[in-house]
Amino acid sequence: MSTFPRSPRLLKGGIILVDLNKPTVPLRMIALQYNPDTLTRTLQVQGVGENSGDRSQVLRLKGPPVETIKLEAEIDATDQLEFPDENRHQATVTHGLHPILAALETIIYPTLEQILSNDRLAQSGTLEIIPMESSLTLFIWSQNRIVPVRLTEFSITEEAFDPALNPIRAKVSLGMRVLNINDLGFGNKGSDWYINYHRQKEKLATLYQSGQIMTLGIKGI
């Protein structure tokens, strides 16, 4: 059955990895095969003197709220396995979902070269070894939400396998913490992305029509 020709094209959510030294050239892009049905966001207010009882500080904010995002995405190899002769599906035929799962998992891995390099430094007697730096992760959820994030939770449930025990259906649960200006500082592309996200939020807020105060059952305040 053909799709109705005027049906809207559904955009995909996804993740992009970037090197801040070359931020315009993505290192890797991972589009979600199916957008999750729900996306949970939690905002923790960063107030001043919340527990001190200091009334002069009660309306002050230390900075943007700490925002966390949780989602559960489904990945299924059935569509690719249906047309195994297409070159772009050969990796799925041979390895199932291992490639895309590995692409997601390695976001939170240091590279093997970094690990081996640090071992060489340790063997040579280096006293202080700087923690390994990862690429910046961007979570993309439409043009209104392009945010730098750090993955904080990651779980994979593999639900079906091919005869070679490659996973062919899985659910991936992701927890992310939005990196705001307090985390990134100013003067780099990562902070620019957050500032644009913050600016877009304020712009969208101005589009909200607040209505009349009588709707609340009062005449004034």
Residue ranges covered by each domain of the chain: 14-50+58-109+134-205
Query: What is the Cα–Cα distance from 5 to 165, expressed in whole angstroms?
Result: 39
Chain centroid to Cα 171, Å, comes to 16
* Stated pTM of the model: 0.83
Residue scoring higher pLDDT (4 or 48) = 48
pLDDT tens track for 108-118: 998 888 889 88
pLDDT digits (tens, 9 = 90+) for 64-77: 999 999 999 999 99
pLDDT score, position 93 = 83
If one counts every other C-beta atom within 10 angstroms of the C-beta of residue 136, the result is: 21
**CA–CA dist 62, 180 (Å, integer):** 12
CB-side neighbour CA atoms (13 Å) of 144: 6
Q: Give the model confidence (pLDDT) of 133-143 as tens digits.
A: 788 999 999 98
